[in-house]
Amino acid sequence: MFEVKPMINPTRLVLLCSAWLAALIQVVFGSSAHALVDIGVMGYAGFVLLTLSRLRRETILILLLLVLVGWFLLDHRPSPDEWRAAGRYVLIFTALLPTMALVRATASTMPSVRRTQQALAQLPASASASGFHLAANIFGSIINTGSLAILSAAVPPDADAERRRLAAESALRGMVTAAAWSPFFVAFAIGQSFTDNINSWIGLGLGAITTILFTLVSLPLLNKNFSMARLSAALRCLQPVTMRLFIVLGSVLAAALI
């Protein structure tokens, strides 16, 4: 008898890849490629439908609630063109997770990343956490959540649950606080549309002060046996990947300025 379940995962992969490719086409070619991008939107819609069965009931309930709230907030029923435009807008964010997975997989094959993994494995978990915090804050300010994909590759493959937890928490603290002062987050772009340049710079300054204060307090408070020597040792472990990270930063900045 023909079974459908074994075909779901390959189908989901194909649909997600089509959405990812369509998002890249949209970034490169813009409105001139709407016909191809719309195909990617339909592919992503199919991916979502096939993924619903894998979600927990609580998650589905939350999604339904968000859909209902969003629907009632609309002032009119969207037209087909508006649905397609909304799909094209969402497609950019849809491509984020596959891109992060690709970055992580690529980074894991680099010799410099392996040297970093070996160096971090020699440190106590609490000592490496502070380095992840600072690295995620610096690099997350430009590449946002992409920094998590790169830094996660620096965690040794055989790391225990405690080391992984500390690394994840530290990287999240660093990346999230970067949103307080970095102009490369979507939230800043939205906020800037409601204010002028002077107040935007004031906001960035206040955010930078907040981030510095948070870092000064959280590093010694949340990391056991914190010391400047341990912080320095953790940052030295990240040296093999520092140049590659700066290349990524430079590429993002260049793309933003061109």
Read off the pLDDT of residues 242-251 as tens digits, 9 standing for 90 and up: 777 777 767 7
State which residues of the chain have pLDDT below 70: 1-8, 97, 100, 104, 107-108, 117, 121, 125-126, 142-143, 186-187, 189-193, 249, 252-253, 255-258
What was the pLDDT predicted at 54? 84
pTM of the predicted protein model: 0.59
Decide: 146 and 244 in contact? Cβ < 8 Å. Answer: no
Q: Phi, psi at residue 181, to the nearest 5°?
A: -130, -10
159 phi/psi in degrees, rounded to 5: -65, 140
C-alpha 250/C-alpha 107 separation (Å) is 17
Residue 78 CB contacts under 8 Å (≥ 6 apart), including other chains: 86
Q: Residues with Cβ < 8 Å from 55, sequence gap 6 or more? A: 63
* pLDDT of 1: 41
Taking the C-alpha atoms of residue 29 and residue 206, their distance in angstroms, rounded to an integer, is 37
104 and 151 Cβ atoms separated by less than 8 Å: no
The pLDDT > 90 percentage for the chain reads 2
* Helices and strands in the chain: count of H runs, count of E runs: 13, 0
Contact by Cβ (8 Å): 151, 242: no
Pick from 55, 175, 169, 154: which is nearest to 107 by CA?
154
Residue-wise pLDDT tens digits, 154-163: 777 777 888 7
Instruction: Report the sign of the C-alpha dihedral through residues 254, 255, 257, 258, in that order.
Output: positive
Measured CA to CA, the distance from residue 170 to residue 81 in angstroms comes to 43
